[in-house]
């Protein structure tokens, strides 16, 4: 079957201005109006002991969208963080005795308040972490809808279970402040726990501050603290008051957290990165691949379930390229809020900037180094000036790149790039296919595209990913879909559906939670 070419989108008129009403200054003023207790003229506060505090040292920050200044997180010192954790334990001891109907009512009221500020929360995500408008709205909606799903079904999930002995401490990366961090925090509170959340260092302070303010108004016991992981580690991971540590981030930081919680015997949920792979073996549905590729670039692959590696049967490489290259050429990159006319709708790029200019430079340098050491550049996207404001800072933007054969000495060979770089590895045998798909010692998701169902059934169980799709991408999932990882991509309890509630509650004596623990591994 010959590949179907992806139609090129029509060339848009050159953008000339920021969509009226969407500036960062506009968003900040709306925050001051919506939650004056949490925001000052130039900074956000820390929430602990049930009140907002103007403590912490705020470092300068800029938006990745155009490099202009925005509010940074107020960074607490370790002593103040310990005070906040002790106060959270007091909140926990009171909250765990609140009847479930009242807990649910307070969480439901929080969700209504979040829905009332849906567009402001999304606009803050655009400015703080560079998320395109469509994806920013989706992040907010997934948080709200996901927690509503739990609120409607929580009774049987809590049957025979009790809250933990101390609050849940959440340390999460910057890429999904609402649908990962806020979602988890509200479900943890619904289950009877007080909740502590660390504001990610790289972005999301205003969005999370507004969400925390709305929850605190409804009496949900939430603590929100800013600071570096190194300074707050003793309080948020090692403090005896903490009942569970929930971490989402990279393997280097995750390894340090894993060591600490293992030494202390703490309940833990550690979601870490892995190199998610898409295998091509005895495959012919090239039209489906062409349709899938642009979607795989959503948010510039800055997510834990992105697919940055294709493992392709060598005899199919020419057909693969014929399907892949037109698709990657259709990927759109640009300013998330720039329009040609004030009446125009907001643009819909596949992605905007990476999280920072520093990350963009690091990734660009990795690509250049890989090519110097033998990788073959198959595609390099070029800037389309029509999608950016005249004269804007574009240092955080990286356009799609595709490399064949990244050398073993390159980080792009074995680690997740967390940016819009695809790498391709060619294989000749099923053994080589599996070895290449398992290059990172565990992943969160994988896909094997093959026409042979028997081959899929035989090979998929040998792929070290928690979820494997048959020719379709897998995601973190929502609601009752379980989530975890194999190998170094996950430590501790698995989550999703009932497992998320089980992970943050106590069951019968001797209970073994599904997950990857130092002493055992148990699949759900």
Average pLDDT, the chain: 94
**Do residues 307 and 444 touch, judged by C-beta distance below 8 A?**
no
How far apart CA 268 and CA 282 sit, in angstroms, is 41
Residue 1 predicted with pLDDT over 50: no
Pairing relationship of beta strands 267-272 and 244-249 according to DSSP bridges: parallel
Asked if CATH classification 3.40.50.970 holds for the domain at 19-272, the reply, yes or no, is no
Ranges of CATH 3.40.309.10 domains, the chain: 277-470
In words, the CATH class of domain 277-470 is alpha beta
Residue 364, CA distances (Å) to 397, 418, 421, 422 in order = 10, 12, 9, 13
Name the percent of the chain lying above pLDDT 90.
Answer: 85
Tokens linked to 387: 């999608």
Mean pLDDT of 316-337: 98
pLDDT tens per residue, range 23-33? 999 999 999 99
∠ CA 474-477-482, rounded to 5° = 100
What integer pLDDT is reported at residue 7 of this predicted model? 52
Instruction: Report the residue count for the chain.
Output: 524
- Is residue 203 left, alpha or beta, with left meaning phi > 0 and alpha meaning psi from -120 to 50? left
What integer pLDDT is reported at residue 477 of this predicted model? 86
Neighbouring C-beta atoms of residue 71, cutoff 10 Å: 22
What integer pLDDT is reported at residue 411 of this predicted model? 93
Mean pLDDT of 362-385: 96
Q: What is the DSSP letter of 1?
A: -
What integer pLDDT is reported at residue 115 of this predicted model? 98
Residue 476 predicted with pLDDT over 70: yes
**Do residues 143 and 118 touch, judged by C-beta distance below 8 A?**
no
Report residue 73's pLDDT band, with 50, 70 and 90 as the boundaries. confident
**Do residues 174 and 129 touch, judged by C-beta distance below 8 A?**
yes
Ranges of CATH 3.40.605.10 domains, the chain: 19-272
Residue 294 predicted with pLDDT over 60: yes
What integer pLDDT is reported at residue 253 of this predicted model? 76
What integer pLDDT is reported at residue 2 of this predicted model? 47
How far apart CA 522 and CA 524 sit, in angstroms, is 6
CA count, 13 A, side-chain hemisphere, 275 = 23
Tokens linked to 485: 């990882």
Tokens linked to 59: 């470092």
pLDDT tens per residue, range 239-263? 999 999 999 988 777 777 878 887 7
Instruction: Name residue, tokens 């009847």.
Output: 99
- 517/182: higher pLDDT: 182
Neighbouring C-beta atoms of residue 254, cutoff 10 Å: 21
How far apart CA 30 and CA 28 sit, in angstroms, is 5
Report residue 221's pLDDT band, with 50, 70 and 90 as the boundaries. very high
Pairing relationship of beta strands 376-380 and 421-427 according to DSSP bridges: unpaired
**Do residues 351 and 298 touch, judged by C-beta distance below 8 A?**
yes
**Do residues 354 and 64 touch, judged by C-beta distance below 8 A?**
yes
10 Å CB burial of residue 10 (0-12, 13-18, 19+) is exposed
Report residue 519's pLDDT band, with 50, 70 and 90 as the boundaries. confident
Tokens linked to 184: 């988890």
What integer pLDDT is reported at residue 518 of this predicted model? 85
**Do residues 183 and 495 touch, judged by C-beta distance below 8 A?**
no
What integer pLDDT is reported at residue 252 of this predicted model? 76
What integer pLDDT is reported at residue 42 of this predicted model? 84
Helix (H) or strand (E) holding 404: strand 401-404
Q: What is the DSSP letter of 125?
A: H
Report residue 147's pLDDT band, with 50, 70 and 90 as the boundaries. very high
Encode burial over 45-58: b for 16+ CB neighbours within 10 A, e otherwise.
Answer: bbbbeeebbebbeb
Neighbouring C-beta atoms of residue 276, cutoff 10 Å: 28
Name the percent of the chain lying above pLDDT 70.
Answer: 98
Instruction: Name residue, tokens 């642009």.
Output: 294
Report residue 378's pLDDT band, with 50, 70 and 90 as the boundaries. very high
How far apart CA 312 and CA 320 sit, in angstroms, is 8
Predicted TM-score (pTM) of this structure: 0.94
- 57/313: higher pLDDT: 313
- In angstroms, what is the C-alpha Rg of the chain? 23
What integer pLDDT is reported at residue 12 of this predicted model? 65
């Amino acid at each position: 079957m010959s590949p179907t070419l992806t139609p090129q989108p029509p060339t848009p008129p050159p953008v000339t201005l920021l969509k009226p009403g969407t500036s960062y200054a506009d968003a900040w003023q709306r925050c001051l109006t919506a939650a004056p207790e949490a925001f000052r003229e130039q900074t956000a506060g820390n929430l602990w002991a049930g009140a907002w505090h103007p403590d912490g040292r705020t470092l300068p920050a800029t938006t990745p969208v155009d490099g202009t200044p925005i509010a940074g997180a107020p960074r607490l010192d370790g002593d103040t963080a310990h005070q906040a954790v002790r106060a959270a334990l007091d909140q926990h001891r009171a909250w765990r005795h609140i009847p479930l109907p009242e807990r649910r009512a307070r969480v439901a009221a929080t969700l209504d308040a979040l829905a009332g500020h849906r567009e402001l929360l999304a606009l803050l995500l655009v400015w703080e972490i560079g998320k395109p408008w469509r994806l920013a709205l989706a992040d907010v909606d997934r948080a709200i809808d996901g927690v509503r799903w739990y609120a409607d079904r929580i009774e049987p999930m809590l049957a025979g279970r009790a809250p933990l002995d101390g609050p849940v401490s959440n340390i999460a990366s910057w890429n999904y402040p609402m649908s990962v961090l806020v979602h988890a925090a509200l479900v943890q509170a619904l289950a009877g726990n007080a909740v502590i959340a660390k504001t990610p260092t790289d972005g999301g302070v205003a969005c999370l501050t507004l969400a925390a303010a709305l929850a605190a108004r409804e009496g949900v016991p939430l603590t929100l603290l800013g600071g570096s992981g190194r300074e707050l580690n003793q309080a948020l991971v090692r403090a005896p008051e903490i009942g569970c540590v929930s971490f989402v981030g990279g393997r280097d930081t995750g390894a340090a957290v894993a060591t600490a919680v293992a030494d202390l015997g703490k309940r833990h949920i550690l979601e870490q990165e892995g190199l998610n792979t898409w295998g091509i073996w005895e495959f012919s549905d090239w039209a489906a691949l062409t349709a899938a590729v642009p979607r795989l670039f959503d948010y510039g692959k800055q997510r834990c379930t992105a697919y940055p590696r294709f493992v392709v049967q060598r005899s199919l490489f020419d057909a693969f390229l014929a399907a892949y290259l037109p698709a990657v050429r259709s990927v759109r990159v640009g300013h998330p809020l720039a329009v040609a006319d004030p009446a125009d709708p907001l643009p819909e790029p596949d992605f905007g900037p990476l999280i920072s200019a520093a990350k963009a430079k690091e990734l660009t340098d990795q690509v250049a180094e890989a090519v110097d050491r033998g990788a073959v550049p198959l595609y390099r996207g070029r800037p389309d000036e029509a999608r950016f404001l005249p004269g804007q800072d574009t240092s955080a933007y990286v356009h799609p790149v595709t490399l064949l054969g990244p050398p073993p000495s390159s980080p792009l060979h074995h680690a997740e790039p967390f940016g819009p770089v695809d790498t391709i590895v060619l294989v000749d045998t099923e053994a080589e296919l599996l070895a290449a798909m398992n290059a990172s010692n565990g992943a969160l998701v994988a896909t094997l595209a093959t026409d042979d169902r028997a081959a899929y059934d035989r090979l998929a169980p040998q792929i070290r990913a928690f979820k494997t799709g048959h020719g379709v991408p897998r995601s973190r999932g929502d609601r009752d879909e379980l989530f975890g990882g194999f190998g170094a991509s996950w430590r501790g309890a698995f989550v999703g559906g009932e497992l998320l509630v089980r992970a943050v509650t106590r069951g019968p004596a001797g209970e073994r939670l599904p997950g990857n623990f130092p002493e055992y591994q148990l699949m759900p």
